[in-house]
Amino acid sequence: MNFVYAILIGAVIGVIGGYLLRGRQANAIWMSPVLAIIGSLIASVLATMFGKSGYGMKEFGLQVVLAVVGVGATWFLGNRSAAATS
């Protein structure tokens, strides 16, 4: 069940981040949610491997942080490719 929450958290944070970055980067609309979901799923796997069973605030916090890192990676990749073409 925690993987379902991970996908939902990643999708929500990714869509919000994609709309915030949309004006600056064309690929932010699809890349932000994908990377945020991947980050949130990685957090869920790490919490399952190293934590105790059950969904808790630590796992939720880790999912949010890694989803935001995924959105940040979108921003970084977009700036990097824009600088390479200039």
Q: Tens of pLDDT along 13-39?
A: 998 988 887 766 666 678 889 999 999
Q: Tens of pLDDT along 37-82?
A: 999 999 989 888 887 777 788 888 999 999 999 988 888 887 765 5
Q: Are 65 and 43 in contact (CB under 8 A)?
A: yes
Listed by start position, the domains of the chain span: 2-79
Instruction: Give the amino acid at 65.
Output: V
Distance CA 53, CA 68 (A): 24
Residue 71: count of CB within 10 angstroms of its CB: 25
